[in-house]
Amino acid sequence: MTHAPGWLAAVSLAAGLAAGFGYAPREAVQGNVQRIMYLHVPSVLTAYLAFGLVLLGSIGYLATRRPGWDRLAGAAGEIGVLFTGLTIVSGSIWGRPTWGTWWTWDARLTSTAMLFLIYVGYLLLRSVIDDPDARGRYAAVVGILGAVNIPIVHFSVKWWRALHQPSTILGPGPAPIDPAIEVVLFLNWVAFTLLFAYFLARRIEIARLEET
């Protein structure tokens, strides 16, 4: 039964991919390159979820000193870095044909790059401390401080003048997009969340095996 969640994630990813290329309409202004959104937006939402769990695990560890909380935080941090990296790369590839540049020091892009670097630092810190309790405590502090950057990333497009478009689906009011696009985006978000859950369970299992 350990492989069932993995297969569920794989099947839902395949369904999301098929919907993104077969069901979702061609966007009127950007054309087919807009289909990168079905990868880019679920990636960043998954990264938010991962770093939210780092925050939860960090607070849980500092409050209880139970190793399970630290395993959760460490595992979620690693997967969050993976999905933040995907967000940055897919956004850069999307930006080239739509903005005419791979990268710009826009508020959203810069704050996302900072988020990525903070959690890379978090993982490096975890890797250099041998004592489990000291590692858990120091990492928890960084995990809590790092989470401050999540709302900065999300609201950066409102707080500063940015090239990046404002939030489409997590903004106030109904999403200003075609319902078919919204459904496909939701399907891909569910698929990414299932994949994240599978990765998280496996990564926590690895941490547990490493400690025994």
Partner 1 sequence: MPANWSYVIAAYGVAAVALFGYWRYLARRIRALTARQHDAAPHRTAS
Report the nearest approach of partner 1 to the CB of residue 158 (Å).
26
16 and 191 Cβ atoms separated by less than 8 Å: yes
Q: Does 209 bind partner 1 (CB under 8 A)?
A: yes
Report the nearest approach of partner 1 to the CB of residue 33 (Å).
4
Report the nearest approach of partner 1 to the CB of residue 210 (Å).
7
Residue 183 neighbours by CB distance under 10 Å: 13
Q: Does 36 bind partner 1 (CB under 8 A)?
A: yes
Q: What is the 3-state secondary structure (H, E, C) of the chain?
A: CCCHHHHHHHHHHHHHHHHHHHHCCCECCCEHHHHHHHHHHHHHHHHHHHHHHHHHHHHHHHHHCCHHHHHHHHHHHHHHHHHHHHHHHHHHHHHHHHHCCCCCCCHHHHHHHHHHHHHHHHHHHHHHCCCHHHHHHHHHHHHHHHCCHHHHHHHHHHHCCCCCCCCCCCCCCCCCCCHHHHHHHHHHHHHHHHHHHHHHHHHHHHHHHHHC
Q: Does 33 bind partner 1 (CB under 8 A)?
A: yes
User: CA–CA separation, 187 vs 131, rounded Å?
Assistant: 42
Q: Does 89 bind partner 1 (CB under 8 A)?
A: yes
Q: Does 97 bind partner 1 (CB under 8 A)?
A: yes
Nearer to partner 1, 140 or 181 (CB): 181
Nearer to partner 1, 59 or 93 (CB): 93
Nearer to partner 1, 97 or 132 (CB): 97
Among 14, 96, 121, 166, interactor with partner 1 by CB under 8 A: 96
Q: Does 86 bind partner 1 (CB under 8 A)?
A: yes
Report the nearest approach of partner 1 to the CB of residue 132 (Å).
17
Among 93, 120, 125, 169, interactor with partner 1 by CB under 8 A: 93
Q: Which residues bind partner 1 (CB under 8 A)?
A: 6, 17, 29-33, 35-36, 39-40, 43, 79, 82, 85-86, 89-90, 93-94, 96-97, 195, 199, 202-203, 205-206, 209-210, 212
